[in-house]
Chains A and B, each alone.
Chain A
Amino acid sequence: MIRLQNIEKVYRTSAIETLALNSISLDIAKGEFLSVMGPSGCGKSTLLNIMGLLDAPTKGDIKIDEQRTDHFSDKQLAQFRNRKLGFVFQSYHLINDLKVLDNVELPLLYRTSSGNERKKLASAALEKVGLSNRVKHFPSQLSGGQKQRVAIARAIVGRPEIILADEPTGNLDSAMGSEIMDILLQLNATDNTTIIMVTHDEYMASKTHRLVRLFDGVLVQ
């Protein structure tokens, strides 16, 4: 599903060059649930951003679904992300000015779909994460776990094949964290969605199919 070959990422400022990722090669199969671990600053998020096409590697090839993406224009990239990828962030990144349902609808706005259809899909996604009763609330009225469930609903509403989760349980206590983890596991099992999750939590990582560790930008399998 995702193939990384010799990925290198260098951050340059006028004074120093930092090597964030050092020739990383990684194959992720369809339907796989992969967790990425490593200490702070080891390049986990950078790796996830590159897989999510939010950031471009300095060197190396990335193929998603057998397609190379390095020649894509801004518009093509946007469309590709919209169709194939779903994101879940540690700090949720919900839009505070929008109600829960409108937040979940967001990815569908960048496709051609009718308002009714959007509403139907968004409601279905919220049902999947068990939040049908909070549709008309604003994010500020929800607890952390509920916010993250909304974020997951937003990530899956467009039926992406890949979900990229950056420490989805990092801001939550262990009970809520487990709830979120269960939802992700279920998604992976029932819809065969490929999930890549960055985490600090050994216990969460142990529930996934495969674990890779990053250390100073180098992959330790």
Chain B
Amino acid sequence: MLRNYFKIAIAVLRRKKFFTFISLFGISFTLTIVIIVAAFVDNMFSAGYPDINRDRELFVSRMQIRSSTNASSINAGPSYYFIDHYVSRLKTPAKIAILSGNFPVTTYLNNKKQVTSVRSTNDQFWEVLQFQFVEGKPYTKQQIDNGEKVVVISEAVRSNYFNEGVAAVGKYIELLNMQYRVTGVVKNLPSASNVYADIFTPLTLTQEDMHEPSLVGGHTCILLLDSKANIPKMKEEFNQMAAKVPMDDKKIDNKIFDRKLVFADTFLESFVRDFHAGFTEGAGAGVDIFILIVSIFFLLFLLLPTLNLVNINISRIMDRYSEIGVRKAFGASSRTLVYQFIVENLILTFIGGAIGVGLSFIIVQVINSMDFMYNNRISVNFHVLSFALLASLVFGLLSGVYPAWRMSRMNVVMALKAQ
């Protein structure tokens, strides 16, 4: 039966070449866009170098201080003091990475301007995040405690300061008018990475007032858990701890700003919380609303190509009036005909989908070769492809069901009279 459907689908496609072209154009283009967007989203949310343990990490990246008397709020990362005094005493995390926000540092080498971005981290940062070391190794807890002036640099920085491929460990680079010794060189990070920087320095070097009580300070901490299953437990422990932390920040007026909001979020949650900053106070971060909004946009985008395909499909069906009449006369039930048409349409959609996948491979190559996202390579991987398959299926069903229904309700007698 299916083979027969396939046969007739191909025959119909070959006969009405213009309609086939329009349909395939619409389908393949629509799916290409879906695939490219999916590739970007996948690149953004799925774990990748160096943050490969993302599914068992929680992020504390936002401390919001609010006022009960007016609408003002302060939004920034938590302070080192908060992380050091409260977060690091939690029992559930296996490891805690602490990192500062990244800040640009300018250097002029032979009148050539270099802007590198620098981040300060603790030692566990190197254990939570899986960097690939081209040479050397990360700085240790002892080196941090001793206040040694050491750095880990990226391959790109090594090429700029020294020369392409020249070993840099043990050599010195000048930063902020001081000499730093290179202990390790890591593979370049994608610019969209959540821990992006070119140079990593120990936390102690830039933080002179680390132990002054404060809440807001532009840091981020990543809690690495033993397993994904501990996430609820971790969140609960975090929330209990956060509730007990007093409002004590010397830099802000604690009379006006009397409430704080801080959460341990999964990567998606922390993204969503940033996305609608200020709207959500709950621990849930509004992920479901976010997904709802995204789905609505997705469906709206699909609406026009779907309508177009439905229109073309209906024309296509009207053209096959007599065929449908004959099939009914010879014993096809309405339901069989609906199936036939849906299968035909799915075949068409999957052919279009295959072209779309081909197109997106080309476009992804072009995007990657232009390198406008610096080291960020999107790829059409298994995830993306399975999503494309699902999207084809949804699209095929959406655009096939209504015409198929129209087809099955066609009057046989009229259909056989025509011609």
A residues touching B (Cβ–Cβ < 8 Å)?
45, 49, 52, 54-55, 74-75, 77-79, 81-83, 85-87, 89, 91, 93-98, 102, 105-107, 109-111, 115, 154, 158
Contact = CB atoms under 8 A, between A and B. Distances in A.
B18 to A, nearest CB: 16
A97 B12 contact: yes
A196 to B, nearest CB: 14
Contact of A74 (B325, B329, B334): B334
B39 to A, nearest CB: 37
Given A55-B413, A78-B336, A96-B15, A91 B326 contact: no
Contacts of A78: 328, 331-334, 336
Going nearest first, the 8 A-B pairs with the smallest beta carbon separation are A82-B331, A97-B11, A78-B333, A110-B331, A107-B330, A75-B333, A93-B326, A54-B412
Contact of B333 (A45, A54, A74, A91): A74
Nearest to B419: A91
Given A95-B8, A97-B8, A97-B11, A107 B331 contact: yes
A70 B15 CA distance: 39
Contacts of B7: 98, 102
B111 interface: no
B171 interface: no
Contact of A89 (B3, B12, B416): B416
B84 interface: no
8 contacts: A87-B326, A87-B329, A91-B419, A93-B326, A94-B326, A97-B11, A102-B7, A111-B331
Contact of B330 (A77, A91, A154): A154
A55 B8 CA distance: 27
B248 to A, nearest CB: 75
Given A81-B329, A81-B331, 17 more contacts: A54-B329, A54-B416, A55-B412, A74-B333, A74-B335, A75-B335, A78-B336, A81-B330, A87-B329, A94-B326, A95-B323, A97-B15, A102-B4, A106-B327, A106-B330, A110-B332, A158-B331
B322 interface: yes
Contacts of B413: 49, 54-55
Contacts of B327: 106
Nearest to A155: B330
Contacts of A74: 333-335
A115 B3 contact: yes
Instruction: Give the residue among B1, B325, B330 with the most A Cβ atoms within 10 A.
Output: B330
B1 A109 contact: yes
Nearest to B322: A93
Contacts of B334: 74-75, 78
A81 B326 CA distance: 11
B11 A79 contact: no
B367 to A, nearest CB: 40
A82 B327 CA distance: 10
A86 B329 CA distance: 8
Interface in B403-419: 412-413, 416-417, 419
Contacts of A45: 417
A17 to B, nearest CB: 18
Interface string B1-39: 101100110011001000000000000000000000000
Among A85, A94, A96: residue with most chain B CB under 10 A: A96
Interface string B315-352: 00000001101111111111110000000000000000
A111 to B, nearest CB: 8
B415 to A, nearest CB: 9
B336 A110 contact: yes
A79 B12 CA distance: 26
Given A98-B7, A98-B8, A93 B325 contact: yes
Most buried by A among B1, B4, B333, B412: B333
Contacts of A49: 413
Contacts of A75: 333-335
Contacts of B8: 95, 97-98
Contacts of B336: 78, 110
Contacts of A97: 8, 11-12, 15, 323
Nearest to B329: A87
Contacts of A89: 416
B388 to A, nearest CB: 29
A110 B329 CA distance: 11
A93 B419 CA distance: 9
A110 B15 contact: no
A87 B412 CA distance: 13
A49 B327 CA distance: 15
Contacts of A54: 328-329, 412-413, 416
B345 to A, nearest CB: 16
Most chain-B CB neighbours within 10 Å: which of A83, A97, A158?
A97
B391 to A, nearest CB: 29
A54 B331 CA distance: 10
A86 B326 CA distance: 11
A75 B329 CA distance: 12
Nearest to A81: B331
B331 to A, nearest CB: 2
A154 B329 CA distance: 11
Contacts of A111: 331
Contacts of A98: 7-8, 11
Interface in B193-251: none
A38 B418 CA distance: 21
A85 B333 CA distance: 15
A110 B336 CA distance: 8
B265 to A, nearest CB: 54
Given A54-B413, A54-B416, A110-B336, A79 B323 contact: no
A110 to B, nearest CB: 4
